């Protein structure tokens, strides 16, 4: 597997894990809680990183 594929797979996995954590935080603490918003911001950064790889 090429390095770019490994990075893509790793980012994809991180994005999915973080998305799951954000959903759980939103259900437990509300969508505007600091914890949920922190997950959302981290998720935005990872998605942007993922998109920039495939420009």
Would you say the pTM of this structure is higher than 0.95? Answer: no
How far is CA 40 from each of CA 2, 5, 45, rounded to the nearest angstrom? 29, 25, 9
pLDDT in tens, the chain (55 residues): 676 666 678 899 999 999 999 999 999 999 999 999 999 999 999 999 999 987 7
Determine how many CB atoms are found less than 10 A away from the CB of residue 17.
12
What per-residue confidence (pLDDT) applies to 5? 67
C-alpha–C-alpha distance, residues 47 and 11, integer Å: 8
Distance (Å, rounded) from C-alpha 49 to C-alpha 52? Answer: 5
């Amino acid at each position: 597997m090429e390095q770019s594929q490994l990075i893509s797979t790793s980012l994809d996995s991180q994005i999915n894990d973080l998305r799951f954590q954000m959903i759980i935080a939103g259900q437990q603490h509300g969508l505007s809680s600091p914890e949920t918003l922190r997950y959302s911001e981290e998720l935005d950064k990872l998605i942007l990183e993922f998109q920039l790889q495939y420009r």
